[in-house]
Amino acid sequence: MGVALAAGCGGDDESPAADAGVSADAAGDGPDAAGPDASGPSARVWAVGADYMAGVGVLSTVDLPSLAVTKNAVAGVASSDPVVRVFGDRVYVINRFGFDNVTIIDRLTGTLIDQISTGANTNPQDVAVKGDTIYVAALGAGEVIVLDAANPDAAPGAIDISSYDTDGVPDATSIYLVGDKLLVAVGLLDADFVSHGGKVIVIDTTDDTVVGDFDLTHRNPVGWLQPRGADELVIATAENPFQPTTSPGCLERIDVSGTPKAAGCLADNSSLGGTVAGYAAVGDTVYAAITTSDSFDAGKLVAITDAGVSNDSLTAASVQPGDVAACPTGEIVISDRAAGGLRVYGSDGDELTSDAIDIGLPPAFANGIACR
């Protein structure tokens, strides 16, 4: 990488708040049952890979610092359109278009806990978790879907957000819990998938009611809400995501120190040289994969701070970063679209992998890596 990474990172899915069709015996090769918090690795990477055309997916693990790989660690839990979040001792695989479920894995043992349907054609995109309650942002639903992990066979609940879009489906792309406040990013897409706004809806989870909303600087939030520092979230926007080199948008800031509100752009796409793909924060520094070609065959990894952007890529020229995760032990993990695998960088900026790590299938396009 050539540039030292910022120190003191937290898990990529840690909240800035203080507390924030598969059988149960479906096991793959299985990661070390001791788990990263016992006598095993100091951190574990959970990564989903997919072959969209063949209709298959995998959930694989990489242990740090050993770089030991377990391909297809929990068999049958990842579809051909998966993303992954980690909260506490649970791994959540969100199986999206055409699969419509959330699969829960025990992070410490690597075993399947449950798979819960979000409903036909809901197209779930992201989850936030409060106790046994799983809140789901869904692209094909007019509500935030509410699942009960303690009662997985129960019919899903719903928090109505349909009034935010004239077609009744506001296109929720991401969701994040800060204290008792749930933030839901919506893209307000029309029938031609053109965004007519970018908005965040705020829900009070003490009674699951909508209590407010605010506009983002740009239309079309395309990334996930991710924590930056103690009092901020960031989310990527791209008004024309199919033309990365010219699309208006930015990495947007959301102030969550009090009542959640928009806080402007941390870095514009024009200054980044493309649109933001994956990203993760280490303290106040955001490491972001930037797509720099309209044919999606070139990219770079940059560090973004309040002072500006390091526009020289932190990776070798041959690497095409697509997704990014930060580990609590200081490593940064990226997907390399050119090589079809993962690369790991130490806190000093040096690459720890000699070649891209094969996880069994090409890594998911974005939001497919978590590390705890």
Alpha helices in the chain (DSSP H): 269-272
Q: What are phi and psi of 163, to 5 degrees?
A: -70, -10
> In what helix (H) or strand (E) does residue 66 lie, and over which residues does it extend?
none
Q: Kindly write down the DSSP assignment for every residue of 202-248, as one continuous string.
A: EEETTTTEEEEEEE-SSS-B-S--EEETTTEEEEEEESSTT-TTT--
Q: Can you name the residues that pair with 45 across neighbouring β-strands?
A: 62, 371
User: What mean pLDDT value characterizes the chain?
Assistant: 91
pLDDT at residue 8 greater than cutoff 90: no
CB 128 within 8 A of CB 182: yes
Question: What distance in Å separates the CA atoms of residue 64 and residue 50, rounded to the nearest whole number?
Answer: 23
207-255 pLDDT tens trace: 999 999 999 999 999 999 999 999 999 999 999 989 999 999 999 999 9
| Every domain of the chain and the residues it spans | 43-371
**CATH code of the domain made up of 43-371:** 2.130.10.10
Six-digit token pair at 361? 């299938």
Average pLDDT, integer, range 63-70: 97
Q: How confident is the model at residue 5 (pLDDT cuts 50, 70, 90)?
A: low
For 310-324, b/e burial (b = at least 16 CB within 10 A) is beebbbeeebbbbbb
CB 49 within 8 A of CB 368: yes
Q: What are phi and psi of 160, to 5 degrees?
A: -70, 125
What does pTM read for this prediction? 0.91
Q: What is the pLDDT of residue 313?
A: 83
Question: Residue 337: which residues within 8 A CB-CB, separation 6 or more?
Answer: 296, 297, 299, 320, 321, 322, 362, 363
Question: What distance in Å separates the CA atoms of residue 248 and residue 15, rounded to the nearest whole number?
Answer: 28
252-265 pLDDT tens trace: 999 999 999 999 99
Q: What is the pLDDT of residue 12?
A: 53
277-330 pLDDT tens trace: 999 999 999 999 999 999 999 999 999 999 999 867 899 999 999 999 999 999
Q: What is the pLDDT of residue 196?
A: 86
pLDDT at residue 148 greater than cutoff 60: yes
73-119 pLDDT tens trace: 999 999 999 999 999 999 999 999 999 999 999 999 999 999 999 99
Q: What is the pLDDT of residue 164?
A: 97
